[in-house]
Structure 1
Amino acid sequence: MQVYVTRRGDRYHSTPECPRILSAQRSARSQGYEVHPPLPMSLAEAEAWKPVQPCPACWTEA
């Protein structure tokens, strides 16, 4: 199962266009921070990389 995780985020997302990702990136840009694209990876890779939880805005259990 593929998920998307941002470098600084603690959630995994079902799509790189999740409203929570886009909102956080807009906010970071407006504050002058560098924005990195969401990284596609398997759920197992995401969980091994750092503690993550499903995004309540875009994640639904299949």
Structure 2
Amino acid sequence: MGDIGAPELLIVLVVVVFLFGATKLPDLARGAGQALRIFKAETKGLREDDPKTQPPTL
């Protein structure tokens, strides 16, 4: 249990299309991509602000 194969992914895709409709899927994907880019930028900023990851200054 826990292995996701092609049939399971296909079922999930069909359910998503039925729930949101084919016209909304590009908007959902665009929003998810934008959210992921923002999240990635914020976590990068946090790592740059972390004093543990900064090289020591002389």
What TM-score does the superposition give when structure 2 sets the normalisation length? 0.31
User: Which structure has the bigger radius of gyration?
Assistant: 2
Where is the strand percentage greater, Structure 1 or Structure 2? Answer: 1
Higher RCO, 1 or 2 (CA under 8 Å, sep at least 6)?
Answer: 1
Where is the helix percentage greater, Structure 1 or Structure 2? Answer: 2
What TM-score does the superposition give when structure 1 sets the normalisation length? 0.29
